Amino acid sequence: MLKFKGQKQEQAQKGQGITENDVMKGNQPIYPVERYVTIGENKVLFGDGSHIIYVNGKYRGNDEIGKLMYDFSCTNPDDMIYETLAKKARYFKQDEKGVAAMCKIMEDMRNEAEFNKAKRMAIRMIKAGKMSLEDIADYTELSLDTIKELASQSIQLA
């Protein structure tokens, strides 16, 4: 089960995602997905509490979901239907403090992705066993303590 830092197990069991396109090709606003077990010719709900809901980002029906998907596609907050969302979009796109906050969020995301990529690369280098931990730290720009922790975890998982 995919779980994010600080997320509770029961939250991880409920997955929601807005897809850019209609991945199920059924022209529906949402697609609830349940897990089933096949027993002979019968299908029984698995009952592990997991739920997945795909939201069709292309859907433009004249209902709440259609209007929301329309708003999500708008580049100009003045074109949005829901004023609460438009107000937030204006803040993050047009207000100096909001733009700064969004830039910080994007920078944090970029840094986290870069850190995670460096860790993945370090793990591969550790498993290859061709370099010292000090060299791996130097090449990946991760701290030696981080490399040692990754090496310890790699040994435990092996």
- Structural domain that includes position 116: 96-158
Share of the chain above pLDDT 90, in %: 71
- Whether 11 is in a domain gets the answer no
**What sign does the dihedral 97-98-100-105 (CA atoms) show?**
positive
pLDDT of residue 47: 82
For the chain, how many structural domains are there in total? 1
Q: What does the pLDDT look like over 96-118, one tens digit per residue?
A: 999 999 999 999 999 999 999 99
3-state secondary structure of 51: strand
Domain contains 140: yes
Q: How many CB atoms lie within 10 A of CB 22?
A: 16
Q: Which two structure tokens, joined as six digits, stand for 117? A: 């990529």
What pLDDT shows up at residue 23? 87
Asked if residue 49 is part of any domain, the answer here is no
Burial of 115-143, coded b for 16+ CB within 10 Å and e otherwise, reads: eeebbeebbebbeeeeeeeeebbeebebe
In a domain, 91, yes or no: no
Residues 12/50, Cβ–Cβ less than 8 Å: no
Residue 7's pLDDT band (boundaries 50, 70, 90)? very low
Q: What is the pLDDT of residue 2?
A: 38
Tell me, yes or no, whether 7 lies in a domain. no
Average pLDDT score over the chain: 89
Span 14-35, average pLDDT: 87
pLDDT for residue 48: 83
Per-residue confidence (pLDDT) for residue 125, from 0 to 100: 97
pLDDT score of 14 more than 80: no
